[in-house]
Structure 1
């Protein structure tokens, strides 16, 4: 095979990812520019970047990186894999209208428009996955009053009725959870055997898509010391233990419930790939302590991977050019890996048949 043919084959087999510019008041523009400047990421995926050219160029200036992208209008672009990233210019925000370090209506409109555009591309099969640089929920609610979180927005935009869940991912371990953005006092009422079993199933499916063929899952208890035999609560005995037993009977490599204050230590020591926690902060605190600058948030359950860095918009350092690209890098690599594996399972190379 000639050198040119090998290069063409490499381009054709890269998964196509939409890269969404997030909140403009924070570090999203400079992170987007940094992602596009990293050769290892450009070799992992073909990017279709969604946003405003002026914002990207300002982000590149802040980050002190050079850009090499193909700028296109929103009515004239291709998602075919190519040597250069394609930037779809929605021309939807002038940097002069950005208030750096604040959540604003203009910023929320920019981020929601970009995200909506990318979601439709994924829904149409034109991209195999989506990554986005950080959003700000307050700004998103200014523009979209019903915005609770990304899961709610995706469900609304795509009329998605399936089960979607947020995962936090580090290199060595994932965190799944049975409940997410609800008050702590409501957690116990939302636990059931079926809910726990469904999370085990979805977690196993997502881990396999990420390349872990035989995933092992540790399940956390709800109460102190995992209830201590019923001394501090009965949820472990009545709900969690039976759910774990059902999951084992269905062939899943799952164990627990383990006390929440030691479950991550046990998981790392004993080679579990994920910890299933009962509520949001039970896992978030541990994950962010272990890798705040490398953590990834992944939305599982969709027909395509959807990934973002786990950190926020970092208003306090916006515009200084010091934003760490580590978590964004990991988000892109995870999305690319999952999209490529999903394409291979389907027996196709994305867009090569068009």
Structure 2
């Protein structure tokens, strides 16, 4: 176990299912196969999660990661900011949003200090974080600003070994075409390459078309002819990366899900999300693509309707833990040459 990466395990939004998920995996002793976990959040919320799922595990409070001894149980870095009695379960609130941000800030600082190698987090609630003062579009932008990134980043959706990267993300469909250009597409392709390499391999990248029938050579839209195809050719020539396309989006995922590609670069949010979530919603995770440390979470969100019922499935969160650990090991091996 001493060779496994040290990962932060953040409880997530207190009003959601995050504390239950973290507790369920602790009861299964799931973390031990992949990492040395450090639970980050309020001790009382972790114990509340254990109570909800009907079990207990050895755990103890630490003030610094030098105090971790996994033979004693689960170390909990107690942030002392989320009283279960003050949480309104199943609702977004400023109180719980502040807890989300405190967990994020703590994990960011621990990464920068070299005390953890990455982290996995229970679902946060963007609305609650904004109530608590977050001005960024999402936690991914918040992370990028905290790490002072100057390179492409975005949430990357992953199911099993297939990931999707978006050229445009949280924007209205009416604005998608105007945002697709050489720069935005190159950034998406680069993000796919970086994230694929973070898992320890050179990815096979497919680029989706925007228009029906791949634009029909310009008869049904010119984005493929004027932007997408020329950008792919330029990227391949300049980098040698394994990038092909554009492919008609209505058939691309048939090939991708058979294993022909590792990464699909989509033109807009739902173009990839629908495909992955239809085939394997419980198997989907979200990777913080482009960040300097391995970071991932489950794809299903806070699931307010399931809070307190111990009925949430753990498959997605398990995969997030597993993938984060794999990325951490690949990063360590690359650093060691």
**TM-score category, normalised to shorter length:** over 0.9
Q: Which residue of the partner structure matches residue 76 of structure 2?
A: 87
Name the CA distance, whole Å, in 1 between partners of 2:259 and 2:46: 44
Q: Which residue of the partner structure matches residue 233 of structure 2?
A: 245
Matched, 1:34 2:29: no
CA apart distance, 1:336: 0.2
How many residue pairs get aligned? The number is 335
Q: Is the Cα contact below 8 Å between 1:16 and 1:81 reproduced in 2? A: no
CA apart distance, 1:209: 2.0
Matched, 1:215 2:203: yes
For residues 169-188 of structure 1, the aligned pairs below 5 Å read 169-188=158-177
Q: Which residue of the partner structure matches residue 59 of structure 2?
A: 69
CA apart distance, 1:199: 2.2
| 1:166 aligned to which of 155, 160, 164 | 155
Name the CA distance, whole Å, in 1 between partners of 2:246 and 2:280: 24
Which ranges of 4 or more aligned residues in structure 1 deviate by more than 4 Å? none
Q: Is the Cα contact below 8 Å between 1:132 and 1:307 reproduced in 2? A: yes
In the alignment, structure 2 segments of 5+ residues that lack a partner are none
Structure-2 change in CA distance of 1:80 and 1:98 (3 Å):
closer
Cα distance per residue 1:19-59 (max 9 Å; x no partner)? 11111111111011112233342221011111111111110
Alignment TM-score, normalising by the size of structure 1: 0.90
In the alignment, structure 1 segments of 5+ residues that lack a partner are 1-10, 349-354
CA apart distance, 1:70: 2.6
Name the CA distance, whole Å, in 2 between partners of 1:158 and 1:270: 33
For residues 195-344 of structure 1, the aligned pairs below 5 Å read 195-211=184-200, 213-249=201-237, 250-269=239-258, 271-344=260-333
CA apart distance, 1:236: 0.4
CA apart distance, 1:193: 2.1
| 1:131 aligned to which of 112, 120, 126 | 120
Q: Secondary structure at the match of 1:187?
A: helix
Q: Secondary structure at the match of 2:250?
A: coil
CA apart distance, 1:300: 1.6
Structure-2 change in CA distance of 1:62 and 1:288 (3 Å):
same
Q: Is the Cα contact below 8 Å between 2:13 and 2:97 reproduced in 1? A: yes
Q: Secondary structure at the match of 1:233?
A: coil
Cα distance per residue 1:248-291 (max 9 Å; x no partner)? 32322221111112211122236111111011111111111121
Q: Is the Cα contact below 8 Å between 1:79 and 1:127 reproduced in 2? A: no
Name the CA distance, whole Å, in 1 between partners of 2:187 and 2:23: 38
Q: Secondary structure at the match of 2:249?
A: coil
Alignment TM-score, normalising by the size of structure 2: 0.94
Q: Secondary structure at the match of 1:228?
A: helix
